[in-house]
Homo-oligomer: A and B are copies of this chain.
Amino acid sequence: MGATKTEHFSPKVNAIASLAKAIGHPARVAIIEYLLKVNTCICNDIVNELPLSQPTVSQHLKALKEAGLIQGEVEGNSICYCINPKAIEKLNNYFGKLSAKISTEHLNCCTK
A: residues with CB less than 8 A from B are 4-6, 8-10, 13-14, 16-18, 20-30, 32-33, 36, 39-41, 51-52, 71-73, 75, 80-83, 85, 88-89, 91-92, 95-96, 98-99, 101-103, 105, 107-110, 112
With beta carbons under 8 angstroms apart, the residue of B20, B75, B82, B83 that contacts A29 is B20
Is the CB–CB distance between B29 and A25 below 8 Å?
no
Give the number of copies in the complex.
Answer: 2
Q: Is the interface of A mostly helix, strand, loop or mixed?
A: helix
Evaluate contact between A17 and B23: CB separation under 8 angstroms.
yes
A83 to B6, CA, bound (A): 23
Chain B nearest CB, measured from A62 CB (Å)? 16
